Each structure stands twice: as structure tokens, then as C-alpha cells.
Amino acid sequence: MKKTKPVTTVYRKLRTAGLLLAVAGLIGGASVVHADQFDDQINSLRTQNAATQGVLNGLESQANSYEGAISQLQAQISAVQSQIAANQAQQAQLQQQIAAEQQQIDQKKQQLSATIKAMYIDGQTSTIEELATSKNLSDYVDKEQYRTTVQNQLNGAITEIAALQAQLQKEKAQIDELVASETTQNNQLTSDQAQQNQLLAYNQDQQSNYNQQINSNSSKITELRKEQAILNAKYNIGAFKSSPGNGGYPDVWANAAQDSLIDSWGMYNRECVSYTAFRVHQDYLAGRDSHDMPYWGGVGNANQWPGDAQAAGVPVNTTPTPGSIAISTAGAFGHAMYVEAVNGNEIYIQQYNQQLTGQYSEGWRYTTGLVFLHF
């Protein structure tokens, strides 16, 4: 009642035909039957969640195993790759040494070739001629010894270099074989790691699916509990009960003294219109209403809402629907209520300040004397 406007969040409207049929079919029955009916469904969902959670726990343990294997494989891959890098560096160094030794062999061979050529030319001269051209016999002997010494040195150098080159080639072959083996090992480790990653991804996908099932069942349990509470309240129509949840009305407004704050639509807190304005805004944000709550400049008495709504293009009629705003124009200010469920000429409403105490309450009431705003 009274000037000002709303705020609230959760609580989905029970827009399901199933609830309405249940309400219609169970009128006059025992409330215990309704409670049992919902309890069976709730217990079934809880049993499903418990079983699913057991599977989830196993998957989480399995995922930890996969993650441990992946980490271990990564450490092995890193070690092998370090070895490969070191051996490849040694490969390159040996190749450079082999090339340098080959260059020396080529140079020594050229020198030996020149010596052999000189010895061949000298060899065309007869021993008598060589003796004749020598200063003395000693000179002749020295020349022969020199040629032999040079030839022996060149032959020795070539043999030594060739042996070194052969050794380097052997070492390089060993390094090549080692690098090839390590590369194969690295490829296998990488393949094993990829397989573990695939298993982990599949495991995580399963966990996500099971978590979605649990969340879905939990949401259904919440809805069933709410339906159960609404249905049981049906047997005390007009007897509104308070709820600790305040119908989702924000704490900043719900916990402040009544009429001590102005809400987002220019209305005082903990008034009926403040609460319903908030519910309209929440439904609009959730895509359930076509119109957002207008700012009516602080002119927020409930009995003014039908005219203000029509002026804003919001349909107004006498047909209640879940999510509509019920307005009573009786009294000096009127009263605004949020419609949660509908059963014939009875509606389940959520409201503030019904007893002029600024408190939240909810329950069933008749539609007599009400008009409904369809934002």
C-alpha cells in the first residue's frame, strides 16, 4: 500500500501447467498427501545427485591421476629434449672438426703430390749424373735422405689425420644414433602425453556433464520445495506467512527502516509498490517481461498504477497470469502484489507491507476486486 516502489531477485514464477493442475486436482485433499507427493520426487532427485556425486568423486580422482602422469611425462620430455639439444650441438661440433681435418688431409696430399712429382723428376736422372751434379758423395746422400724423410713425414701426417677423421666419423655416427634414439623417445613421450591429455579432457567433459545434472536436479528440488510450500499454503487461503527470504527484495532496502530510503524508481523502501516494481524490473532483465518498470517520478501509490500502466502502454485487465502485478484500489493508497501462481480465481501472491508493518509475506488469496498489470 502507500506511495513508493520495489526490489527483489530470485524465485521463478511457477508458470507450469503441472502445478496448476496439481492445485486444481488436489483442492480439498489432505496437505500431507501433497507433501508426500513432492517429497517422493525430491528424494528421488537427491538419490540421483548422491549417485552422480559418487561418480564425480571417482572422476576427480582419475583426473588427478591423469594430471600427475601428464606432469611426469612433461618432465621426461623436457629432460630428453635437453639431451637432444646437447647432442645436436656436439653433432655440429664434430662435423666442423671432420671438415677441418679433411681440409688438412687435402693440403697434405697436395704437398705429397708435389714431393712425389719432384722425386719423379729427380728420378729421371741417373745415379751417375746425380753424383756428378752433387758436390760430393755426402751431398748426394743428404738429398736422398731429405726426399725420403719428407715423403715419410707426409705419409705419416696423412695417416694420422685420416685416423683422427675416422675416429671423429665414428663419434659422429654414435652421436647421430643417440640423437635418433632420443628423438624417437621424445616422440613416444609426446604421444603418451597427448593421450593422457585426451583422457583428461574426456574426464573433465564428463565431470562437467555430471555437475550440470547435479545443478539441474538441485534447481528442480528448489522448485519442488517452492511448489510444495505454495500448495500447502493453499489450505489457509488469506492467511499470509512471512518468509526469511523477503521474496528476494534486496537487503539494502529490506534491512533499512521502512520509508527511510528511496528505491531506484523513486518509491519508499519496504512498501508494496517498491517490492512489485523491483519484481517487474527483475523479470524484465530475465526476459520474462516485455516492459521494464517505468520511473513514475515518485507517484507510486498502488491505486495509481493501473492508470500509469495504461499510459505507459502496459496492458491492464482482470485476468491474472504468473508474473503479473495484482492491484487492489481499495483504501487511500491501494495495494500492489506480485502474482507467483494462478489457480482459477485464486492466486499465490508475494507482497510487502500488507499489514502496514513494512514486512514481507506470501500466500493464496482470491482475485475478487483486483486488476492485473501485464508488463
Q: Which fold has domain 59-219?
A: Helix Hairpins (1.10.287)
User: Which range has the top average pLDDT, 102-111, 128-137, 179-188?
Assistant: 179-188
- What is the Cα gyration radius of the chain? 48
Each domain of the chain, given as residue ranges in start order, spans: 17-29+237-373, 59-219
Give the pLDDT confidence of 71-89 residue by residue, as tens digits.
Answer: 888 888 898 888 888 878 8
pLDDT-derived band at 309 (thresholds 50, 70, 90) equals very high
For the chain, give the number of residues: 375
| pLDDT for the residue numbered 239 | 67
Q: Report how far residue 373's alpha carbon sits from residue 371's, in angstroms, rounded to the nearest whole number.
A: 7
Dist CA 304 CA 310 (whole Å)? 10
The predicted structure's pLDDT at residue 25 = 36
pLDDT at residue 166, as a whole number: 81
pLDDT-based confidence at residue 126 (cuts at 50, 70, 90): low
Three-class SS of residue 375? coil
What pLDDT is recorded for position 83?
84
| Between 28 and 340, residue with greater pLDDT | 340
Q: What is the average pLDDT value for the chain, to the nearest integer?
A: 79
Q: Which pLDDT does position 229 carry in this prediction? A: 67
Nearby residues of 103 by Cβ (< 8 Å), 6 or more positions away:
none
**Is residue 122 scored above 60 in pLDDT?**
no
Q: What is the pLDDT of residues 220-262, one digit of tens each?
A: 888 887 776 666 655 556 667 766 678 899 999 999 999 999 9
Q: Nearest to residue 297, comparing CAs of 5, 1, 2?
A: 5
Residue 9 neighbours by CB distance under 10 Å: 16
Q: Is the pLDDT of residue 116 over 70?
A: no
Q: Which of 42, 12, 8, 18 lies closest to 231, judged by CA?
A: 18
Instruction: Name the pLDDT band for 12 (thresholds 50, 70, 90).
Output: very low
Model confidence band, residue 137 (pLDDT cutoffs 50, 70, 90): low
What angle (nearest 5°) sits at the alpha carbon of residue 266, between those of residues 263 and 272?
65
Host H or E run for residue 144 = helix 137-233
> Could you tell me the pTM of the whole model?
0.46
Percentage of residues of the chain with pLDDT beyond 90: 33
Q: Is the Cβ–Cβ distance between 269 and 256 less than 8 Å?
A: yes
DSSP per-residue string spanning 57-121: HHHHHHHHHHHHHHHHHHHHHHHHHHHHHHHHHHHHHHHHHHHHHHHHHHHHHHHHHHHHHHHHH
Higher local confidence (pLDDT), 133 or 21: 133
Q: Which fold has domain 17-29+237-373?
A: endopeptidase fold (from Nostoc punctiforme) (3.90.1720)
C-alpha–C-alpha distance, residues 353 and 2, integer Å? 9
pLDDT for residue 11: 33
Question: How far apart are the C-alpha atoms of 221 and 40, rounded to whole Å?
Answer: 11
- Identify which has the larger pLDDT, 133 or 69: 69
Q: Kindly tell me if the per-residue pLDDT of 329 is higher than 80.
A: yes
How far CA 261 is from CA of 33, 136, 274, 278, 305, in Å, comes to 44, 134, 11, 14, 21
* 148-160 average pLDDT score: 75
